[in-house]
């Protein structure tokens, strides 16, 4: 998709902001809190959970969430968690716990919390990269105590088989958190690592980046933030820090080829058990989800519908209106 297909960011600005909440989650070290952002009607029985990629956070879905709420006429809850170790969530005491089974357990706790607040009648799920792997567990593991089975599942640029070259590329930069003099400087540095996301205007990229950093003065002892970082707040000494635990890369870099193969077999087993109607979105130039794997996903398990975005690698950000439209049509048509 050409750069000139992207309207100015102001086209999408909403007059509202999401509300921030926390849910208590268990772990072997005494538990942690996971933050989540909620859009739409808190009393709606239709819940859409959107889960981000490895180093990202829940505000990545701002434009998609607003579009889903608009498409539903307001009758939907869109919930976008900051996976533990990212954004406004706690950091784990034991870095080895930064793995998909822990993340999936946290999502089960989140969905249970949402169901207690307002019974869920319809549950949909959107997962980008790591968020998609978490979704394979939630949608494919029949023993999980979900309030409702997932009805419609969007896996964004991820499959049961992860290409080794992508793991090497990501492992090379994850955890190397920098210190920046401004949000714009942080955005520029992140763009150097994220050009595979595809064309974005400077305004669009800055909007995605502003929630990825926190003023140094607002970092607590456990790594989470005291307040939400905003572009006009000075950090300590004017410095800004990436808003995730550098230790999230520990488990990733510990993956051996044998462990990757075993994990892939488990993920294929989970994928094959999915009964939700499934949409697979892929950057046509993705180095993480090969086209062979994507095609295989259309031929087995839930027989996903495959939509590819030209000029995009890993992973589509759902900022482009055409990408957003693919998802909203899938959820509501």
Confidence at residue 138, expressed as pLDDT on a 0 to 100 scale: 98
- Which tokens hold the place of 153? 């599942």
Closest C-alpha among 83, 104, 90, 89 to residue 29: 90
pLDDT in tens, 64-114: 999 999 999 999 999 999 999 999 999 999 999 999 999 999 999 999 999
Q: Please state the φ and ψ torsions of residue 45, each to the nearest 5 degrees.
A: -85, -10
Tell me whether residue 39 is in a domain. Answer: yes
Tell me whether residue 73 is in a domain. Answer: yes
Strands 77-82 and 213-215, by their bridges, are unpaired
Asked whether 52 and 58 are in contact (CB, 8 A), the reply is yes
Confidence at residue 41, expressed as pLDDT on a 0 to 100 scale: 97
Phi-psi region of 149 (alpha: psi -120 to 50; beta: other; left: phi over 0): beta
Tell me whether residue 198 is in a domain. Answer: no
pLDDT in tens, 279-314: 999 999 999 999 999 999 999 999 999 999 999 999
Tell me whether residue 206 is in a domain. Answer: no
Tell me whether residue 250 is in a domain. Answer: no
224 has a pLDDT exceeding 60: no
241 has a pLDDT exceeding 50: yes
pTM summary value = 0.90
The residue written with tokens 């994220």 in the block is 194
Strands 46-51 and 77-82, by their bridges, are parallel
40 has a pLDDT exceeding 80: yes
230 has a pLDDT exceeding 90: no
Q: State how far the Cα of 110 lies from the Cα of 165, in Å rounded to an integer.
A: 33
Instruction: Give the total residue count for the chain.
Output: 333
- Which tokens hold the place of 228? 């939400």
The residue written with tokens 């949409």 in the block is 279
Widest CA span of the chain, in angstroms? 55
Q: State how far the Cα of 149 lies from the Cα of 95, in Å rounded to an integer.
A: 30
Tell me whether residue 38 is in a domain. Answer: yes
Tell me whether residue 91 is in a domain. Answer: yes
Query: Total structural domains in the chain?
Result: 1
CATH number of domain containing 18:
3.40.50.1820
Tell me whether residue 197 is in a domain. Answer: no
What is the residue range of 296's domain?
Answer: 12-174+257-332
């Amino acid at each position: 998709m050409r750069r000139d297909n992207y309207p100015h960011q102001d086209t999408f600005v909403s007059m509202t902001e999401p509300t921030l909440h926390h849910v208590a989650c268990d772990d072997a070290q005494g538990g942690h809190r996971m933050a989540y952002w909620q859009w739409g009607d808190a009393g709606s029985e239709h819940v859409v959970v959107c889960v981000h990629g490895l180093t990202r956070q829940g505000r990545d879905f701002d434009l998609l969430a607003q579009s889903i709420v608009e498409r539903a006429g307001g009758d939907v809850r869109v919930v976008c968690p900051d996976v533990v170790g990212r954004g406004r969530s706690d950091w784990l005491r034991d870095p080895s716990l930064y793995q998909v089974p822990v993340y999936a357990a946290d999502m089960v706790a989140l969905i249970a919390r949402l169901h207690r607040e307002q019974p869920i009648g319809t549950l949909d799920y959107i997962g980008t990269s790591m968020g998609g792997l978490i979704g394979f567990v939630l949608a494919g593991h029949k023993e999980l105590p979900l309030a409702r089975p997932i009805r419609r599942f969007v896996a964004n640029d991820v499959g049961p088989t992860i290409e080794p070259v992508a793991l090497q590329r990501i492992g090379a930069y994850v955890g190397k958190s920098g210190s920046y003099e401004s949000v714009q400087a942080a955005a520029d540095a992140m763009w150097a690592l994220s050009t595979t996301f595809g064309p974005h205007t400077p305004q669009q990229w800055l909007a995605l980046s502003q929630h990825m950093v926190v003023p140094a003065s607002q970092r607590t002892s456990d790594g989470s933030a005291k307040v939400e970082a905003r572009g006009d707040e000075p950090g300590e000494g004017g410095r800004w820090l990436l808003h995730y635990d550098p230790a999230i890369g520990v488990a990733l870099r510990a993956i051996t080829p044998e462990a990757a193969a075993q994990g892939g077999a488990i993920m294929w087993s989970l994928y094959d058990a999915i009964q939700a109607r499934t949409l697979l979105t892929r950057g046509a130039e993705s180095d993480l989800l090969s086209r062979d794997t994507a095609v295989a996903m259309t031929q087995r398990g839930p027989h996903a519908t495959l939509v590819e975005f030209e000029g995009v690698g890993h992973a589509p950000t759902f900022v482009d209106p055409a990408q957003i439209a693919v998802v909203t049509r899938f959820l509501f048509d």
